[in-house]
Each structure stands twice: as structure tokens, then as C-alpha cells.
Copies of this chain bind each other. A is one copy, B any other.
């Protein structure tokens, strides 16, 4: 059984972190799946999906870590060729990855108590961002 829906987020262009746990759980509830797997996938090459304890301190620490990984102010060949100015966002996205699989049991996501599903939008302009939530069970 496969059930799919999409979330829509609105990025500001300033490396946003969105806690989508409640929305993913809502899609899971509508699917009726009790045991299976949830795939969260972000189409696009300037965003990523992972999990964190979603509190302001960790969010800030993670943003600083990705800034060290691929600083916004550094020189990127992508920017030199295309003038997009978001080369840093492409690199961050590739390193963190666009997909996350979470097991489902008894109709619930098997996350830890302090573990939330987070979508990171690294792009340098405000934009709508689709996120695919797909349940298999």
C-alpha cells in the first residue's frame, strides 16, 4: 500500500529550518498505514532533510555548522558560471542529502522523544518549497 502527499513550505532565503513532524504524522494518519515506512523527500538541489531536537539552540548550532561546511561568502564555481549566488546552498544540500526514511509501527513514527523531522532550505531567495511524504505499508 502506497500513500503520498505533499507539504508546501515558504523559505525566506536565509537558511530556514522547518519542523515538519506534525505534518508528516498527519499524512501518516490519513494513510491508515499501521506498519511500514515513511519517506520524506525534498525535490530540489538547494535543500535537505534530516532530524534534530527542534529547539532554537540546536537550530542555531546546526546553521553555524553548515555555514562552516560551505560558507555563504566563499567563492563557488557555480556562481561564477551562472551568477545565481547560491553555490553554497547546492553544496550544503549535497552533503546533507534530500531523503529520510522513518519506520512506522502502530500508526506512529518511531522517532525519539526529542527527535523532530526537519527540512532545511538553504537557497538565497524566498521561494515555495514542496516536500514529498510517501508512506509504504
Chain A contacts to B: CB under 8 angstroms:
2, 4, 35-37, 39, 41, 43-45, 50-53, 55-58, 60-62, 65-66, 69-70, 76-82, 87, 90-91, 93-103, 105, 110-112, 114-116, 118, 132, 134, 136-137
A21 to chain B, nearest CB (A): 12
Contact A51 B137 (CB under 8 A): no
A95-B95, A110-B132, A136-B136 provided; 10 other pairs, C-beta below 8 A? A37-B39, A41-B101, A44-B112, A51-B93, A56-B77, A57-B76, A61-B90, A61-B91, A65-B69, A94-B118
Contact A57 B43 (CB under 8 A): no
The 6 residue pairs across chains A and B that have the minimum distance between CB atoms? A57-B78, A57-B77, A43-B112, A44-B112, A45-B53, A57-B81
User: CB-CB < 8 A to A35: which residues of B?
Assistant: 2, 4
Chain B residue nearest to A54 (CB atoms) is B45
Q: Can you list 24 pairs linking A and B with CB atoms under 8 Å apart?
A: A4-B103, A37-B39, A37-B134, A39-B103, A41-B103, A44-B112, A50-B95, A50-B97, A51-B93, A51-B98, A53-B78, A55-B81, A56-B77, A57-B77, A57-B80, A57-B81, A57-B87, A58-B78, A58-B94, A61-B77, A61-B91, A65-B91, A66-B95, A99-B102
